[in-house]
């Protein structure tokens, strides 16, 4: 029958539960979005996010169990996101998972949210063979990792300030486009000309694998103040130019990192991996390098609990166990 792990995710503004068998077969994956809660604020309000997690966590878990046709007694282990993320949000899911595992008398483990995003790739029908270099880009984090084994990931570089997804949200907010900004900009940019307004490419240092997106956010803000035209086509050109600048840097550094590692496989992970221009540009540029590209399916790009359960399964299978004294953490180590 295989071992079934229940995954719980509540690191930001998505309450999610999933059941995964043997670390690679998704039996159920349920995600409760909070977009309508935070939309009018143009970003996530931590206190409101925590309260909604409290309301949603049990219904979401029950829905996942029903979807998988699994009873609580059929769960062999529990995994929950431990961090990084919003402390209040993390505590809801993490505390719930600990209590549930204790009550069911099954093993449990806290997992790293960033490693979970990378493990989402192993849930695909054709997962990337190791080794590969992956760009993890989300609302809170941007980094490059060399994955030599599902349990061995070397961080090559990370953002020094704003993450790519955070930059998308902030640019959308300054243009009053709504939240979440990544999806709005992705749609609107298709109507714009990415070459009409050229924003600086924030390479920082072309020899480094670190990122910085605060400067381009400032450049967009300055341009908007100096060119207050709010005509739809002008706004579409602004976001198209902004998106192209960010995507160019992300793809350039990913391919360069793979080259340096002598690796012919590259992949995307995280919420920004859903961006259509990023996927298109990576397929094009990696193709010219004869590199193999692995893209996550859209449901596995954003925060979800299937990736948590998948990673949790591997950790539990390796003999790792959580303690009731374990706590959450807000920032990556």
How many distinct structural domains can be found in the chain? 2
What is residue 35's predicted lDDT score, i.e. its pLDDT? Answer: 78
C-alpha dihedral over 156, 124, 279, 277, to 10 degrees?
-120
Indicate whether 91 and 149 sit together in one domain: no
Same domain, residue pair 43 and 92: yes
Range in 54-63, 179-188, 200-209, 260-269 the model is least confident about: 200-209
My answer on whether 236 and 305 are in the same domain is no
331 belongs to a structural domain: no
Encode pLDDT of 139-167 as tens digits.
889 999 999 999 999 999 999 998 999 99
The structure's pTM equals 0.93
Strands 132-137 and 142-149: antiparallel
Higher pLDDT among residues 258 and 230, named by residue: 258
Residue 329 lies in a domain: no
Cα 66 off chain centre by: 26
- Quick one: pLDDT band at residue 204, thresholds 50, 70, 90? low
Residue 103 has pLDDT above 70, yes or no: yes
Mean pLDDT of 67-78: 97
pLDDT recorded at residue 229: 87
The pLDDT, as a whole number, for residue 207 is 81
Q: Within a domain: residue 332?
A: no
Neighbours of 99 (CB within 10 A): 13
Alpha-carbon distances of 313 from 21, 103, 161, 317, 326, rounded to whole Å: 8, 19, 32, 6, 18
Q: 151 and 287 share a domain?
A: yes
Average pLDDT for residues 259-271, to the nearest whole number? 97
Q: Are residues 145 and 235 in the same domain?
A: yes
Any domain includes 322: no
pLDDT band of residue 333 (cuts 50, 70, 90) is low
Q: What is the mean pLDDT of the chain?
A: 94
Averaged pLDDT for residues 228-244: 95
pLDDT for res 206: 74
Examine residue 288 and state whether it is found in any structural domain, yes or no.
yes
Is residue 10 situated within a structural domain? yes
Q: DSSP letters of 39-50?
A: GGGTS--HHHHH
Calpha distance 119→10 (Å, rounded): 17
Q: What is the C-alpha separation between 333 and 331, in angstroms, rounded?
A: 6
The pLDDT assigned to 13 comes to: 87
Confirm whether 220 is domain-assigned.
Answer: yes
Report the CATH number at residue 85.
3.30.420.40
Query: Which pLDDT score is estimated for 177?
Result: 93
Structural domain range at position 114: 4-118+301-317
Percent of the chain with pLDDT over 70: 99
CB count within 10 Å of CB 328 equals: 23
Condensed to tens digits (0 to 9), the pLDDT of residues 16-65 reads: 999 999 999 999 999 998 878 887 787 788 899 899 999 999 999 999 99
pLDDT of residue 1 exceeding 70, the answer is no
């Amino acid at each position: 029958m295989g071992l079934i792990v229940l995954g719980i995710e509540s690191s930001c503004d998505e309450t999610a539960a999933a059941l995964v068998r043997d670390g690679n077969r998704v039996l159920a994956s349920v995600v409760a979005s909070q977009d309508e809660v935070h939309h009018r604020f143009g970003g996530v309000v931590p206190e409101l996010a925590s309260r909604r997690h409290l309301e949603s966590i049990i219904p979401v878990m029950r829905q996942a169990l029903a979807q998988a046709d699994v009873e609580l007694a059929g769960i062999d282990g529990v995994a929950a996101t431990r961090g990084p993320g919003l402390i209040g949000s993390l505590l809801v899911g993490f505390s719930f998972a600990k209590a549930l595992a204790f009550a069911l008398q099954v093993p449990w483990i806290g997992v790293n949210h960033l490693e979970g995003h990378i493990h989402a790739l192993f849930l695909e029908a054709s997962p990337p063979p190791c080794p590969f270099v992956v760009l993890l880009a989300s609302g809170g984090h941007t980094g490059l990792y060399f994955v030599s084994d599902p349990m061995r990931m070397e961080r090559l570089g990370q953002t020094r300030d704003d993450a790519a997804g955070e930059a998308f949200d902030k640019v959308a907010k300054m243009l009053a486009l709504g939240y979440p900004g990544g999806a709005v900009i992705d749609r609107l940019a298709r109507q714009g000309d990415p070459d009409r307004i050229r924003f600086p490419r924030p390479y920082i240092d072309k020899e480094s694998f670190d990122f910085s997106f605060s400067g381009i956010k400032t450049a967009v803000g300055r341009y908007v103040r100096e060119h207050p035209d709010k005509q739809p086509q002008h706004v579409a050109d602004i976001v198209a130019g902004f998106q192209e600048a960010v995507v160019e840097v992300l793809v350039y550094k990913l391919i360069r990192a793979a080259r340096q590692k002598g690796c012919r496989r590259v992949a995307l992970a995280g919420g920004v991996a859903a961006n259509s221009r990023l996927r298109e540009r990576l397929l094009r540029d990696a193709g010219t390098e004869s590199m193999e590209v692995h893209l996550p399916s859209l449901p596995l790009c954003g925060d979800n609990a299937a990736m948590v359960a998948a990673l949790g399964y591997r950790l539990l299978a390796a003999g790792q166990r959580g303690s009731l004294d374990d706590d959450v953490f807000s920032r990556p180590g």
